[in-house]
């Protein structure tokens, strides 16, 4: 049965973030949770402890992936290497969707590793929509886009409040 009338996806129940300090507790105690959200970039590696833990989690739980560096609003070309690694992880986890932030964070191949606010222009809308479509088509799963980051707006609002 669909989770709601707006989509055809299964209700996955309640999920929580999978974080390193909780690995042992999860693997030993097997808490009653339906799924875990992972930060994709933490598991886009070729081996080692992160993937070993992930595989153990996947034996008992569903996993949903959340990214932090897709930068849908950037104008740089999408990184094919990043997408390739991401798709490998999507296949490994069988995630029903992938989420990431609506922001930008790179210029000329240099990354800020921050969620920078989007410009409010039609050019940005068209560029962002095209990039989201490209990612979704490549990964072959739905892409969920989180709300616009607007740290600068918040800072400006705080300045007005100080006056």
Residue 2 lies in a domain: no
Q: Give the β-pairing of 98-102 and 15-17.
A: unpaired
Question: Looking at residue 3, what is its pLDDT?
Answer: 57
Residue 9 lies in a domain: no
Q: Can you tell me the distance from the alpha carbon of 37 to that of 64, in angstroms, rounded to the nearest whole number?
A: 5
Residue 72 lies in a domain: yes
Residue 36 lies in a domain: yes
| pLDDT range class, residue 158, cuts 50, 70, 90 | very low
74-83 contacts, C-beta under 8 A, 24 or more apart:
74/104, 74/105, 74/106, 74/107, 74/131, 75/104, 75/127, 76/106, 76/107, 76/108, 76/109, 78/131, 78/134, 78/135, 82/44, 83/135, 83/138, 83/139
Domain span holding position 103: 15-162
Rounded mean pLDDT, 38-49: 95
pLDDT at 117 over 90: no
| pLDDT range class, residue 64, cuts 50, 70, 90 | very high
Percent of the chain exceeding pLDDT 70 equals 85
Q: Can you tell me the distance from the alpha carbon of 147 to that of 154, in angstroms, rounded to the nearest whole number?
A: 14
Nearest C-alpha neighbor of 18 from the set 44, 49, 39: 39
Token digits of residue 150: 């607007």
Residue 1 lies in a domain: no
Domain count, the chain: 1
Rounded mean pLDDT, 50-58: 97
Residue 37 lies in a domain: yes
Residue 152 lies in a domain: yes
Question: Looking at residue 98, what is its pLDDT?
Answer: 95
Rounded mean pLDDT, 102-113: 80
Residue 7 lies in a domain: no
**Contact, 11 vs 3, CB < 8 A?**
yes
Supply the CATH number for residue 136's domain.
3.20.20.150
Token digits of residue 75: 């104008």
Mean pLDDT, rounded, of the chain: 87
| pLDDT range class, residue 5, cuts 50, 70, 90 | low
Rounded mean pLDDT, 31-52: 96
């Amino acid at each position: 049965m669909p989770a709601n009338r707006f989509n055809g996806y299964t209700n996955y129940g309640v999920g929580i973030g999978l974080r390193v300090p909780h690995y042992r507790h999860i693997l030993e105690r097997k808490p009653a949770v339906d799924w875990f959200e992972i930060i994709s970039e933490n598991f886009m590696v070729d081996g080692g402890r992160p993937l070993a833990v992930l595989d153990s989690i996947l034996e008992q739980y569903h996993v949903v992936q959340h990214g932090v560096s897709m930068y849908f609003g950037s104008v740089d070309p999408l990184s094919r290497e990043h997408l390739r690694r991401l798709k490998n992880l999507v296949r490994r986890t069988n995630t029903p969707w992938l989420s990431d932030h609506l922001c930008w964070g790179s210029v000329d191949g240099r990354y800020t590793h921050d969620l920078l606010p989007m410009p409010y222009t039609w050019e940005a809308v068209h560029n962002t929509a095209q990039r989201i479509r490209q990612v979704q088509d490549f990964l072959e799963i739905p892409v969920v886009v989180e709300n616009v980051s607007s740290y600068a707006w918040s800072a400006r609002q705080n300045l007005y409040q100080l006056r």
